[in-house]
Amino acid sequence: MSTRIAPLAILFILTASLTACEKTEQAEKSEHRKISFADDVAPIIQKHCAECHAAGLPGAMATGFVTDTYQSIMNGTLSGQIVNPGSARTSSLYILVSGKDNLAVTMPHGKKPLETGDIEIIRAWIDSGALEN
């Protein structure tokens, strides 16, 4: 019986190895996908942030953070920069939308949190340099 099991065990190991390699390749492709500000990030910000942070609206007036353009986002708030290109974990924008820290205020304020996929797009964009592309 052990001679019959050996080929099955080898087949199982090969199948598992190939599946693991395929999953790793898929993860690497999605991780290295080029994130576009115009195509990927701006629509998220418009959907979740512009309701309060467009020019003249309460969030923009209170914080100085305006989401109308790439440049206005990069200008940050009255307190300073909120996007640290190359480092999402030190960028206030990512920290606030991801809820990574136990903050009293998270964004969007008083609304449903961003979906994980949207948070990951913002993270990847910032980590890749927060380019205007």
Rounded-to-integer distance, Cα 107 and Cα 112, Å: 9
Taking Cα atoms as reference points, which of 41, 49, 3, 53 lies closest to residue 121? 41
Residues 3 and 62 grouped into a single domain: no
Whether residue 76 is found in the same domain as residue 99: yes
24 with 77, same domain: the answer is no
Domain count, the chain: 2
Confidence (pTM): 0.74
Helix ranges (DSSP H) in 49-130: 50-53, 58-63, 70-75, 92-98, 116-127
Domain assignment present for 70 = yes
Do 43 and 82 lie in one domain? The reply is: yes
Q: Which tens digit of pLDDT belongs to each residue from 19-53?
A: 444 434 433 444 567 899 999 999 999 999 999 99
Tokens representing residue 36 in the block: 């576009």
Whether 132 is covered by a domain: the verdict is: no
State how far the alpha carbon of 95 is from the alpha carbons of 18, 100, 107, 119, in Å: 37, 6, 9, 10
Residue 51: which domain range?
37-127
82 contacts: CB under 8 Å, gap ≥ 6:
65, 73, 76, 91, 92, 93, 96
Same domain, residue pair 19 and 46: no
| Residue 42 and residue 101 in one domain | yes
For residues 78 and 94, membership in a common domain is answered with: yes
- Average predicted confidence (pLDDT) for the chain: 83
For residue 73, the model assigns a pLDDT of 98
Are residues 49 and 68 both part of a single domain?
Answer: yes
- 28 and 43 part of one domain: no
